[in-house]
Amino acid sequence: MNLISFHLQIILFITVIMTSPVSSQNIVEIPDLMPMPEEISVKTGEFRLAEDFTIGIKGEAGTRLYKYATMALRRLSGRTGLFFRQDFITPDKNESSPDLLITCNRVGEVRLHEDESYTLTVSESGIIIDSETDMGALRGLETFLQLLNADADGYYFHAVVIKDSPRFAWRGLLIDVGRHFMPVDVIKRNLDAMAAVKLNVLHWHLSEDQGFRVECKAFPKLHEMGSDGYYYTQDQIRDILKYADDRGIRVMPEFDMPGHVSSWMVGYPELASAPGPYEISRRWGVMDPAMDPTKESTYNFLDRFFREMTGLFPDEYFHIGGDENNGKQWNANWEIRRFMEQNDIPDNHALQSYFNKRILELLTKYNKKMVGWDEIFQPDLPTNIVIHSWRGKQAMVDAARRGYQSILSNGYYIDLIRPTDHHYLNDPIPEDSPLTDREKGLILGGEATMWAEYISHETIDSRIWPRTAAIAERFWSQGDIDNVVDMYRRLKIIDLQLEEHGLLHNKNQLMFIRRLCRGYDTGPLKNLIDVIEPMKGYNRGRHRNYRQHSPLTRVVDAAKPDALKAREFRNLVDRYLETDKKNEKTYDEIKKSLILWKNNHTDFIEIIKLSPVLKEIESLSEDLSTVSEIGINALIYFQNGWDTDEKWISESLVFIEKAKEQRGQCELMIIPAIEKLVKAVSGR
């Protein structure tokens, strides 16, 4: 293929997949990459992979790149089963005539705005990655691994030239370990996955009403009394920081203040705005405890605390939270009210602004830049802070117009169980942005946020992945890369590749199903879980009284966001009704699924008798059977052009509406497709 523009290739690719059967011939035209690179040119030819394949490094490369190249070689070997003779790539064991030559000019720093660009060239004679820094080489190696393809003759890389750099410098994932603690291995495997999709910031939410998770030597009662024994030692912190650095990922700590601090007050009640004693909160929501912003002792305490924590965490940015302070303790404290009167502080918002200024002074003293949720945004604060927008994009717009840098998490709250395309089409700088080019430059990027009210170490991976891979593309790739159909196609491929990092997002669902069935027949439950999802938003807590130690082992925990089979069924029905009307093959495929779900309930009832925990979704299973039967009838009517009476249609639509109700905090996700079939019969 001659040199063609990236966007023309995307158009060509979509045309190919929409009009042709999938085959290896079609697939090789456009590589299955995520995130999509800035510029890609597909060439003629291919590089065939063999067991004598080697990697070499040239230029000013540090330890990070040698280690990462070795890991890439091991991953390539694991994917292909090939016995490469090269073991570790080090300065002393560096191939002089390698098949893959990596060149970089300097060792990069793991900091904001470091150069992460690279050029990747694949030809029949070899592969070259060129980069200014080793950070760019790391990103190029991930693209290289995604280019791997196969045919009957073995593995190969199609000839391409890729020139790539990120759209946004800040591409993050927040992991909340305050509400539910996450062991070290959970953090590490998610760091591996982040690197695979070119995310570069781990936002580590380390304190909450439910737990303070870092060993603090200056104030040991923070972790001794505020963590239930679940915290990271400083040696573990340093180990994770090194692990992240080796993958080109910054780690920004967050210690939330002045609210969300119940766990602080257990050991140090003198910090609070009301007398103690205090205890770790076991429930979710906005709690009353807040630091007293009027006492100098509060700032003396925080000065010592920041001195230790800023020394532990090397990143130049430090997140102070600043969200959801309800002000109740401030309102009830007459000394705080008197302080406000004496200092012309009109309200609690202004009092928190006073607190933030004092915190900013301390962090500046320790050479840190302050980040906070958008509640901290006050026009009288210096513009060297970063506004983290979570309540809406308007905060980013207002901040940029006043000269503040910002990052976006609104629209990327993955704990809300929204489908992938909801996040994918949410852009930090949308096409209709009212900002000037200078103001747009103040938007640093964004973060997906994994809040931990309803996750455990067993479920966290399935809540983050694979959806966050699509968010990573939004942060890295150009804004006009937004084809949802193609995103889902590539996401399915990347989903499998992510498993090589030890992620449990697919494996643990099967484990949950076995556990829920107590080792009995898992098929009926698997069929049901394939077409349900957990409730959206924060409605889950409105239906059960969840506390910190409530079980997270039920069907709702096994169910995944954006259930694949349910989404594919909805798409199949859409295609049948819109473009494949009365197509026998599509008709048979839809009918086969509906028959499976219609008959599933009979077997599922027998499993419930052996596993009472499944009782809460019995009616959900029964409704799946009934709506599937409705769908079969509607499908037959539509396919044959038969008339049906209005009574059947009305009764069916009434039942379908009822079946939309949650059971066990789960929802049936094939309902919209069944509803469309019934309405198609009626001509509505």
Kindly report, residue by residue over 294-339, the tens digit of the pLDDT.
Answer: 999 999 999 999 999 999 999 999 999 999 999 999 999 999 999 9
Confidence band, pLDDT 50/70/90 cuts, at residue 541: confident
Q: How far apart are the C-alpha atoms of 212 and 231, rounded to whole Å?
A: 7
Is the pLDDT confidence value at 6 over 70?
no
Give catalytic residue positions: 324
Q: Interior CA angle at 310 toward 111 and 260, to 5°?
A: 105
Give tens-digit pLDDT for 629-682.
999 999 999 999 888 889 999 999 999 999 999 999 999 999 999 999 999 998
Tell me the C-alpha distance between 585 and 572, whole Å.
11
pLDDT of residue 19: 31
- Give the pLDDT of residue 175: 98
pLDDT greater than 60 at residue 10 = no
For residue 434, the model assigns a pLDDT of 96
Residue 562 is encoded by which pair of tokens?
A: 């954006």
pLDDT at residue 29, rounded to an integer: 63
Q: Is residue 292 within 8 Å of 348, Cβ to Cβ?
A: no
Percentage of the chain exceeding pLDDT 70 = 95
Helix ranges (H only) for 119-207 are 134-146, 184-196
What integer pLDDT is reported at residue 645 of this predicted model?
87
Give the tokens for residue 76.
């390539």
pTM above 0.75, yes or no: yes
Q: Supply the pLDDT for residue 344.
A: 97
Do 213 and 231 touch, CB atoms closer than 8 A?
Answer: yes
Residue 3 has pLDDT above 50, yes or no: no
The least confident of 17-31, 384-398, 572-586 is 17-31
User: Is the pLDDT reported for residue 232 higher than 80?
Assistant: yes
What was the pLDDT predicted at 381?
Answer: 87
Whether the per-residue pLDDT at 2 is higher than 50: the answer is: no
**371 contact partners, CB below 8 Å, separation of at least 6:** 252, 254, 317, 318, 319, 320, 385, 386, 388, 407
Residue 123 has pLDDT above 80, yes or no: yes
Cα separation, 135 vs 116, whole angstroms: 5
Taking the alpha carbons of 15, 16, 17, 21 in that order, is the dihedral positive or negative?
A: positive
Distance CA 489, CA 259 (A): 43
Q: If pLDDT is split at 50, 70 and 90, which confidence band does 18 have?
A: very low
Please check the confidence at residue 602 and state whether its pLDDT lies above 90: yes
Helix (H/G/I), strand (E/B), else coil: 249:
coil
C-alpha pair distances (Å), 210 with each of 252, 269, 283: 20, 15, 8
pLDDT at 12 over 50: no
- Residue range 52-79, pLDDT digits in tens: 999 999 999 999 999 999 999 999 999 9
pLDDT at 28 over 80: no
Domains with residue ranges and CATH for the chain: 6-164 (3.30.379.10), 170-499 (3.20.20.80), 507-682 (no CATH)
What percent of the chain lies above the pLDDT cut of 90?
A: 90
Judged by average pLDDT, the poorest of 128-137, 357-366, 538-547, 574-583 is 574-583
Q: Which residue has the tokens 């180990």?
A: 239
| Whole-number pLDDT of residue 11 | 39
